[in-house]
Chains A and B, each alone.
Chain A
Amino acid sequence: MNTGDEWKEVPFNSRDPVYLQVVRHFKERIATGRLSAGQVVPSRRELGALMKINPNTVQKAYKEMEEQRLIMTEGNSPSKVTSDAEVLSRIRAELLGEAVQAFVASVRKIDVPIDELLQLVKRKYEEAPEHD
């Protein structure tokens, strides 16, 4: 299932809050379809051991994800990824927005006409090998 190696080797940086990096990692997985709507996520204990973070940090990350309605926990059953289409599209928009923002910020330094840039982006995007 979704336990195992895929959760290991997530590189953490030292300058963003660890729990937010965990939340972000979940968002990336959801946006790329590696975690699908309604799928059961690892338990808090499992995730701590897999990602090598302490139980408190895991707890903070899950709480944040519950508040952002990324995951849902009903009673004693395991937490699941939300099936709420609105939340799912919000995550996608958020990640996409951030990526474009970063791209624009780095390209702006080069001072390239927008048309040339868009053409270049289009060509690169189309020739890029498909992932997954």
Chain B
Amino acid sequence: MIEVTDIRKRYRRRDVLSGVTFAADKGQITCLIGLNGAGKSTILKAIMGLTPIAGGSIRIDGQAPGPKLYEKVAFVPDRLTMPSGMKLIEAHRFMADFYAGWNGERAGELMRFFGLSYSDRIGSLSKGTAAKFNLLLGLSQDSDYILMDEPFAGIDLFSREAITEVFTSELIEGRGVLFTTHEIGEMEHLIDRAVLLQGGKVERAFDCDEMRGAEGKSVIDVMREVYRA
């Protein structure tokens, strides 16, 4: 379980996170929802130790984040971070060198599934294709958790559909998935838990099916209550 407890961060004299607390379980898809600028990306970066926090704690399976974290938690940032002159095949080798948990076989399957070509260069990929490759780099690590920052932002419908399919497959079975989004769209039926951020805090956190069963509300309904109030 990834447990985030009361984390705080100030940036440019503004409280970005003012005591965020939530948990993301293994074997579940948790969606961190917030409008632009709500601090969603900052939370993922904080979990990965990529940005300092002013207070609070982060525990992964009960442990404070350390060097071993990077084998346990895969991170898919909001844009592809590989050098643009690199060919996809070289990016595969790069990942294999850096990550003990790199699963070359799965990476190959995903190349076929997404229809990607090894000889293409990172810099020449379209937005949708780059998003797919970015996701591939995360999914091909044998990690217990995978964090994704806005995997659906700014890409075409068919790329979105291909990426959505990943969420229904054995690729994520048993893993803990935590991803951020500012719109829920076609993910409504795919996520287990929703965590709604507002004003640097968690406004609501709930099991989506329980919410539907107990209150007859969809995730969008709850979002409307929180963000249009």
How many residues from A make CB contacts under 8 Å with B? Answer: 19
Query: Is B111 in contact with chain A by the CB < 8 A criterion?
Result: no
10 tightest A-B CB contacts, nearest first: A14-B218, A17-B209, A17-B213, A55-B173, A17-B212, A48-B168, A12-B189, A15-B216, A18-B189, A52-B168
Query: Is B59 in contact with chain A by the CB < 8 A criterion?
Result: no
Query: Is B192 in contact with chain A by the CB < 8 A criterion?
Result: yes
Query: Is A56 in contact with chain B by the CB < 8 A criterion?
Result: yes
From residue B221, how far is it (CB to closest CB) to chain A in Å? 7
Q: Which of B165, B170, B212 contacts A16 (CB 8 A)?
A: B212
A-B contact pairs, 11 of them (CB 8 A): A14-B212, A14-B220, A17-B210, A17-B213, A45-B173, A48-B168, A52-B189, A54-B167, A54-B172, A54-B190, A57-B189
Complex interface residues of chain A between 13 and 57 (CB less than 8 A to chain B): 14-20, 45, 48-49, 51-57
Q: Which of A15, A48, A52, A57 contacts B164 (CB 8 A)?
A: A52
Query: Is B27 in contact with chain A by the CB < 8 A criterion?
Result: yes
Query: Is B197 in contact with chain A by the CB < 8 A criterion?
Result: no
A53, B190: Cβ atoms closer than 8 Å:
yes
Query: Is A60 in contact with chain B by the CB < 8 A criterion?
Result: yes
Alpha-carbon separation in the docked complex, A49 to B168 (Å): 5
Alpha-carbon separation in the docked complex, A18 to B212 (Å): 8
Q: B28, B190, B220: which has the most chain A beta carbons within 10 Å?
A: B190
